[in-house]
Structure 1
Amino acid sequence: MQVLVTGGAGFIGSNFVRHLLSETTVDVTTLDALTYAGSKQNLEGILDNPRHTFVEGDIRDKELAQRLVTEADVVVNFAAESHVDRSINDSSHFVSTNVEGTQTLLDASRHEDIERFVQISTDEVYGETLTGEFQEDDELNPRNPYSATKAGADLLARSYYTTYDLPVVITRASNNYGPRQHREKLIPKLITNALNGEHLPIYGDGTNVREWIFVEDHCRAIRFLMSNGKNGEIYNIGSGEELQNKDVAEKIVEAVDASPDLIEFVEDRPGHDQRYALDTTKLRNLGWEPTVPFEEGLKRTVRHYTSQK
């Protein structure tokens, strides 16, 4: 089997490529434009793997996308602009990559006999919820430009299932953390700052709640759904472990033996969602469960960034 992984030099994508190469016998082609969030360093040690081919390029390149999709049995689309703050400052790149790029891949795929197109999405498409958990059929209510473009890509992908019978599966995961995440994201930023004795900036009063899943658990879920998901369906992926941002900062300070005084509350960002939480019953009923508790995953993440210091 040949799997095309777009955005495979980014955080989750590179971990997924590693997962496929270590846990399966499939051949993998990684496509990545190597923008600020993607780096060949994330693929260090597997670039020369005989089952792995790296291609530098953009998912919006129609000719390239068509060529690579033609060679693939499965397409897993991680490629996306993903930082909320950047989308608030300028959403144009998010619309172009997240929506138009997904359209390019979908168009290339509908002309081929692929087994599955996995669209990687986010829990942020649902918006915020102060109580309860989002289910897959809940209304979409994205509240920032990033999540709006991901919601648009989800709807586009599902329409290709309905219109063209393309074997699409959509996954929506909670917040990921783990090795190789870009240092502008919350957990790696806080770890790096704490290791350097710098302030740990926390938006608002720090009570915003996120559900955290270790990236390896997310990768296991995606691989599981490549084989066990149902075409046209959406699956939430989460751990059930919710933490306030200030609690995450306190755990990181403790993990690196830094001073709690480094935690600094700063002006909140516009449209900051208060809480995300996912109902993952649909996926768990198929037989998948998370295996890495937050405490263990955080220790492994701290070790990674400590070694990179």
Structure 2
Amino acid sequence: MQILVTGGAGFIGGHLAERFARDGHSVVVLDNFDPFYDLDIKHHNAEIGREAAEEDGGSYKLVEGDIRNAELVTDLVADADYVYHQAAQAGVRPSVDDPRKYHEVNADGTLNLLDACRDEGIERFVMASSSSVYGVPQYLPYDEEHPTTPVSPYGASKLAAERYACAYGEVYDFSAVALRYFTVYGPRMRPNMAISNFVSRCLNGEPPVLYGDGTQTRDFTFIEDVVEANVTLLEEDAVDGEAVNIGSTDNIAIKTLAEEIRDQLAPDLELVYEERHDADAEHTHADTSKASELLDYEADHTIREGVSKFIDWYQENQAWYEPLVRRS
């Protein structure tokens, strides 16, 4: 199959591109190499994708460009059977400072892809949405019927993008699916996330820093589980026009997470608390029963299992990865 992965040099997109190449598909990656975090991680992701193609018989092509470039997007979609749209302007907190950029990339950029998909007649459009679309919980865990009232420009832009995707799929008769990810983590993750920061600080004898009192809870999803959900959509036909939660089996308080990482790596350290950011969600927790029903999805990693696996990977790859975390 011919698969276009937007944002394919990023964290989730990089893992998807690698997997598709290993499975023998022809993969084209579109990424604008936005310097939101250290670009050496993106270059590393691209190199792994190339190696996967060479080792396992797929093909891998990297195109440096932006989803806001409608002409480029149209040219790339014309050759694709499937589009896996992972490109986005990430970050809840920074979106408060520059909301228009988040709309331009996440909403308008998605519309460029959808216009091209409509015109070219692709097999399926799969996009990365976010638990940020839910906003303040009226109940937990979030199911897909929960009101979508995002509290950050990032969340609003992701909701606009997924609603456009599902609407286009409905009125223009092509398959579109939005996967609402719940805080994805794992090897090669974005370095400015809580888990990577906690691990890095503990390995360097520095206390983990928590924003707020640490009672906030998160549903963290291991990258391998996210990849499996996406791969299923190369075959599964029962999800057209749907938004589907992709989460873990449970959630965990940020303080508990920091303590568990600390206890594994540097038990003598004390936690440090700083002021909480207003745009941060208080709690997230995914109801994944819809994903189970439609995609036969089941997270294979509890949060504790996944974090332990990430710590092992981090220590094995510390020489190249940690300097990038430290300067992000």
Q: How does 1:116-155 map to 2 (within 5 A)?
A: 116-129=124-137, 131-155=139-163
Contact 1:123 1:172 in 2 (8 A): yes
Taking a change above 3 Å as real, the CA distance of residues 127 and 31 of structure 1, as seen in their structure-2 partners, is same
Q: How does 1:128-207 map to 2 (within 5 A)?
A: 128-129=136-137, 131-207=139-215
* Deviation of 1:194 (Å): 1.6
Answering whether residue 27 of structure 2 is matched by residue 31 of structure 1, we say: no
Contact 1:203 1:269 in 2 (8 A): yes
Scaled by the length of structure 2, what TM-score is found?
0.89
**Residue 255 of structure 1: aligned partner:** 264
Task: For 2:9 and 2:262, locate their aligned partners in 1 and report how far apart those are by CA, in whole Å.
Answer: 29
Answering whether residue 281 of structure 2 is matched by residue 276 of structure 1, we say: no
Q: How does 1:102-117 map to 2 (within 5 A)?
A: 102-117=110-125
Contact 2:33 2:64 in 1 (8 A): yes
Task: For 1:249 and 1:266, locate their aligned partners in 2 and report how far apart those are by CA, in whole Å.
Answer: 14
Unpaired runs of 5+ residues, structure 2, are 323-328
Answering whether residue 298 of structure 2 is matched by residue 299 of structure 1, we say: no
Match of 2:293 among 270, 285, 293: 285
Tell me the amino acid that sits aligned with residue 46 of structure 1.
G
Tell me the amino acid that sits aligned with residue 4 of structure 1.
L
* Deviation of 1:126 (Å): 0.9
* Deviation of 1:130 (Å): 6.2
* Deviation of 1:258 (Å): 4.7
RMSD (Å) for aligned C-alpha atoms: 1.6
Tell me the amino acid that sits aligned with residue 16 of structure 2.
F
Deviates more, 1:66-75 or 1:9-18: 9-18
1:152-197 C-alpha deviation (Å, 9 max, x unpaired) = 1111112212221231111112111101112111111111122222
Task: For 2:247 and 2:49, locate their aligned partners in 1 and report how far apart those are by CA, in whole Å.
Answer: 28
**Fraction of identical pairs, as percent:** 35
Scaled by the length of structure 1, what TM-score is found?
0.94
Deviates more, 1:38-47 or 1:182-191: 38-47
Contact 2:251 2:303 in 1 (8 A): no
Task: For 1:260 and 1:18, locate their aligned partners in 2 and report how far apart those are by CA, in whole Å.
Answer: 37
Tell me the amino acid that sits aligned with residue 27 of structure 1.
S
Contact 1:127 1:276 in 2 (8 A): no
Moved over 3 A (4+): none
Contact 2:129 2:162 in 1 (8 A): yes
Answering whether residue 19 of structure 2 is matched by residue 19 of structure 1, we say: yes
1:67-109 C-alpha deviation (Å, 9 max, x unpaired) = 1100000001000011112112222321111111101111111
Task: For 1:271 and 1:293, locate their aligned partners in 2 and report how far apart those are by CA, in whole Å.
Answer: 26
